[in-house]
Every structure is written in structure tokens, then in C-alpha cells.
Amino acid sequence: MGGNPLKLGVLVSGRGSNLQAIIDAIERGNLEAQVAVVISDKEDAFALERARKHGIEALFIDPKAYSSREEHEKVIGDELEKRGVGLICLAGYMRILSEYFVDRFRWRIINIHPALLPSFPGLHGQKQALDYGVKISGCTVHFVDEKTDHGPIIIQAAVPVLEDDNEDTLAARILEYEHKIYPRAIQLFAQGRLEIEGRRVKVRRAPAHTWAVVNPPLEG
């Protein structure tokens, strides 16, 4: 496409496999964006190492160094703005953002959640799905609003829950699709193809498909 690629700021707290999927998609040429900075609230987050390995600036901004959540977020926001970040991607960031931060970057923050929202928001979405007994779960990328795991939905992947799944096997099956849909959501944003209308996100020029995931299968 040419021009200046969209600059991403990725907020992390842990292992950073979604960050890695974003970096890999960019390096493979499947995502026209650039990770400008990775910011963690945990000093030992493996995601920071992943970033540095790819020559990406990686910052630890210690929440304990600030007297309030807003102050911590103000510093994060300033670092993001300094680098001209156009989209903030939460990738396993374990803090709930305040209204201040959400408002400052309105519709420029997205998150990935390991369940088919609005089912199973909050922590341990995979375990919640298993405990509830759903036959299909999955993952969701959505815009962030003031409520946790709540904003307008950009893309979802439906993933079957198998008979002998435990939390780890289901989480791994879902994670494989997280790594596919997160870069795709970012690419759609970068291409200017997302339009928010109330709760719905219209995706321009996306091919429609009409088949469903049925689990257990209809035959056999």
C-alpha cells in the first residue's frame, strides 16, 4: 500500500503470544502496521523479551510508582502519543482501564478475549465455557469501552469444545485462533474498513460466508 504504516502500541502483562502473532504477521507482510512500542505493567513479562528480540522498544511502567490508576495510565498514554501510536492493542494486559484512558483514546483501543462474548467475560473465559458446558466457544476481538470485555465486536472465531477437553487443551485450541483473528482485526482497522454503528462494527468489503460450526457434528 505504501504510505506510513499504522503505528501500534501493545499493552501486555505476560507471555505475549498474541504480541508474537502480531509481530510475525507484520514480518510476513500480512499486516501493514508497525509495533512502535510494547508497554508492560510487569517487569518480568516475557512479552518484553519478545519485543526486544525483534528490535521493538519495550517499556516497563510500574503501576506501584504512581499514586492512582489514572496517573499510571497518563504516563502510558503520553508514551504512546509520543510515538504517534494510532491503535492500542491490549494483549493479555491484566489491568482494567479507567474511563479517563478509554475516553482519551476513544475507539482506538482493541482487546482480545478468549471466549465468544458476551459469554464468559472476565478472567478464565476458557474455564467458564468448560464449566458451563457449551459445545462451542472461541475468541473475540472488540473495541474497548468503559465496561470490561464489552465494546463493539470486530471479529470472532468459533472453536469446538471437545469431549475430553480440560482448561489447558481448550485454551490451546482457542489460542491458535486468537493468533489468527488478532492480526486480521488490526489489518481491517489499518485499512480503514471498520465502521462503528452503535454496538455493531460494519466491516467493509468482507466476503460473506454462510456455513456454521456444528458440534458435535451432524453426522457420524
Binding site for ligand GRF (CB under 6 A): 14-18, 91-92, 112-114, 175, 178
208: exposed, middle or buried (Cβ count in 10 Å: 0-12, 13-18, 19+):
exposed
Q: Which is nearer to ligand GRF, 34 or 148 (CB)?
A: 148
Least CB distance to ligand GRF at residue 56 (A): 15
Q: Which is nearer to ligand GRF, 14 or 63 (CB)?
A: 14
Least CB distance to ligand GRF at residue 127 (A): 12
Q: What's the Cα-to-Cα distance from 183 to each of 21, 165, 168, 218, rounded to whole Å?
A: 7, 27, 23, 32
Angle at 74 between CA 20 and CA 59, to 5 degrees: 35
Least CB distance to ligand GRF at residue 12 (A): 6
Active-site positions? 113
Q: Which is nearer to ligand GRF, 91 or 102 (CB)?
A: 91
Q: Which is nearer to ligand GRF, 85 or 91 (CB)?
A: 91
Least CB distance to ligand GRF at residue 3 (A): 28
Find out whether 158 and 211 touch, Cβ atoms under 8 Å: no
Ranked by CB distance to ligand GRF, the top (closest) residue is: 92
